[in-house]
């Protein structure tokens, strides 16, 4: 990476050329600096890759003032994480409060001291660099939705009751495969498998809750609002089966052991939130709905079905998806007093 690529990018937004020149002069030695003379241009540049790491924003501009620019930046998911520092001649406490309420991280009044601007910009860019690092590393271990919720709510996370569709997928006869394979080979093939399965899940709006050995559990409708969580979950399951067939064709051509999996689907209430000790917590869902989806997956081999779902799940499907299922009668699930309607695909 070159020195220019390492420098963080600052967007200056001011309709006065002399202010732009002074700010550029103050910052160009340490940062990549670009400028916009109006709000509309600023919004365009904020979306252009590579995006600015920070925006210095004037308030008093024609057509679209800085407050509106900030509000629009924070309303757009693509730009809301860019720190905004207001730099303006408006010096009343109410003006500063308004800017901070809109989501700005700082407020500097004109005439400004270049050394102060450099220090404020440097500090906020360092904070952003640290935050981006945490998000990038953290995001490798949890889904983006879970990561963002935990970061946003910090220690205020409490349990929420949700009605969700749960997908549980497990590789069949994995123990036999692992007994005969080297650990490095197992991990490599599992990662390749999970990469494809997760893509199928997230493409349909699902959130990966956890990996349990060779199993993956996903939630539809918990953190991401979906028009029909059950439709999305079944679509993901069908896509997973199709993707696995493609993987197996490639593995088989190379003489590599192929996988088969079973998928269980159920819909019902869960408690969504954090669980664990004071030293280590996990964001997950808890409830009988989770247990039932896992039990349904375990029955797929017995019923010779790739995908099994409960009648509760099937009853919420759109007609076009419901007609793809076959009735398999009722089954008594271990640990439950009442029988469960079962459908396969």
Whether residue 145 lies inside any domain: the answer is: no
Here the CATH number for the domain that contains residue 72 is 3.40.50.2300
**Residues 134 and 159 reside in one and the same domain:** no
pLDDT 10s per residue in the chain (345 long)?
A: 334 447 899 999 999 999 999 999 999 999 999 999 999 999 999 999 999 999 999 999 999 999 999 999 999 989 999 999 999 999 999 999 999 999 999 999 999 999 999 999 999 999 888 777 766 655 555 566 666 665 565 555 556 888 999 999 999 988 888 888 888 888 999 999 999 999 999 899 998 988 998 999 999 998 788 999 999 999 999 999 999 999 999 999 998 899 999 999 999 999 887 777 767 777 788 899 999 999 999 999 999 999 999 999 999 999 999 999 999 999 888 777 788 999 998
Whether residue 147 lies inside any domain: the answer is: no
Least Cα distance to 66 among 40, 92, 33, 93 occurs for 40
The residue segments making up the domain with residue 130 are 3-138
Beta bridge partners of 285: 272
Whether residue 143 lies inside any domain: the answer is: no
**Residues 253 and 121 reside in one and the same domain:** no
Show which of 138, 169, 202 is a domain's final residue: 138
> Quick one: pLDDT at residue 274?
75
C-beta of residue 182 within 8 angstroms of C-beta of residue 160: no
**Residues 49 and 173 reside in one and the same domain:** no
Beta bridge partners of 271: 161, 286
The Cα–Cα gap between 11 and 24 comes to 10
Identify the residue whose tokens are 């996370």.
157
Whether residue 146 lies inside any domain: the answer is: no
The secondary element (H helix, E strand) that includes residue 281 is strand 281-286
**CB-based contacts of 14, cutoff 8 Å, min separation 6:** 20, 23, 35, 37, 56, 58, 61, 87
Whether residue 144 lies inside any domain: the answer is: no
> Quick one: pLDDT at residue 47?
95
Q: Look at the chain and report how many structural domains it folds into.
A: 2
**Residues 159 and 134 reside in one and the same domain:** no
Burial classification of residue 11, based on how many CB atoms lie within 10 Å of its CB (0-12 exposed, 13-18 middle, 19 or more buried):
buried
**Residues 185 and 316 reside in one and the same domain:** yes
Whether residue 119 lies inside any domain: the answer is: yes
The Cα–Cα gap between 78 and 69 comes to 14
Whether residue 338 lies inside any domain: the answer is: yes
**Residues 98 and 201 reside in one and the same domain:** no
> Quick one: pLDDT at residue 96?
95
Identify the residue whose tokens are 């009853």.
315
> Quick one: pLDDT at residue 304?
93
The Cα–Cα gap between 239 and 308 comes to 15
> Quick one: pLDDT at residue 265?
98
The Cα–Cα gap between 219 and 160 comes to 14
The Cα–Cα gap between 58 and 86 comes to 6
**Residues 258 and 287 reside in one and the same domain:** yes
pTM, 2 dp: 0.63
Show which of 138, 165, 182 is a domain's final residue: 138
> Quick one: pLDDT at residue 34?
96
C-beta of residue 168 within 8 angstroms of C-beta of residue 215: yes
**Residues 119 and 162 reside in one and the same domain:** no
**Residues 95 and 176 reside in one and the same domain:** no
Phi and psi dihedrals of 56, rounded to 5? -95, 120
**Residues 92 and 119 reside in one and the same domain:** yes
C-beta of residue 290 within 8 angstroms of C-beta of residue 164: no
**Residues 177 and 321 reside in one and the same domain:** yes
Here the CATH number for the domain that contains residue 283 is 3.30.70.1230
Whether residue 150 lies inside any domain: the answer is: no
Dihedral over Cα of 157, 207, 221, 311: its sign: negative
The Cα–Cα gap between 141 and 263 comes to 23
**Residues 126 and 11 reside in one and the same domain:** yes
Show which of 112, 138, 164 is a domain's final residue: 138
């Amino acid at each position: 990476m070159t020195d220019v690529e390492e420098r963080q990018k600052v967007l200056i937004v001011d309709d006065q050329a002399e202010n732009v020149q002074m700010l550029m002069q103050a910052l160009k030695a340490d940062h990549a600096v670009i400028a916009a003379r109006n709000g509309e241009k600023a919004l365009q540049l904020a979306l252009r890759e590579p995006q600015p790491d920070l925006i210095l924003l004037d308030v008093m501009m024609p057509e679209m003032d800085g407050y509106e620019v900030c509000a629009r930046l924070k309303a757009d998911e693509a730009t809301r994480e860019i720190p905004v520092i207001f730099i303006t001649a408006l010096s009343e406490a109410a003006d500063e409060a308004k800017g901070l309420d809109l989501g700005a991280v700082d407020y500097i009044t004109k005439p400004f001291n270049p050394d102060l601007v450099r220090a404020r910009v440097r500090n906020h860019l360092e904070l952003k660099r640290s935050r981006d690092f945490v998000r990038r590393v953290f995001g490798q271990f949890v889904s983006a939705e879970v990561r963002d919720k935990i970061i946003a709510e910090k220690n205020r996370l409490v349990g929420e009751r949700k009605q969700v569709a749960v997908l549980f997928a497990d590789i069949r006869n994995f123990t036999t495969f692992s007994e005969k394979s080297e650990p490095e080979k197992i991990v490599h093939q599992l990662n390749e498998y999970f990469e494809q399965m997760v893509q199928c899940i997230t493409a349909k709006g699902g959130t990966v809750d956890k990996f349990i050995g060779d199993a993956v559990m996903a939630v539809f409708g918990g953190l991401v609002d979906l028009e029909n969580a059950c439709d999305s979950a079944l679509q993901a399951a069908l896509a997973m089966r199709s993707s696995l067939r493609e993987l197996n064709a490639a593995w088989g051509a190379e003489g590599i052991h192929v996988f088969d999996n079973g998928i269980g689907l159920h819909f019902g209430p869960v408690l969504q939130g954090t669980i664990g000790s004071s030293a280590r917590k996990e964001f997950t869902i808890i409830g009988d709905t989770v247990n039932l989806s896992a039990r349904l997956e375990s029955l797929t081999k017995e019923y010779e079905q790739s995908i099994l779902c409960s009648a509760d799940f099937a009853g919420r499907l759109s007609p076009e998806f419901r007609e793809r299922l076959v009735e398999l009668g009722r089954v008594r699930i271990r640990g439950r007093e009442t029988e469960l309607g079962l459908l396969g695909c």
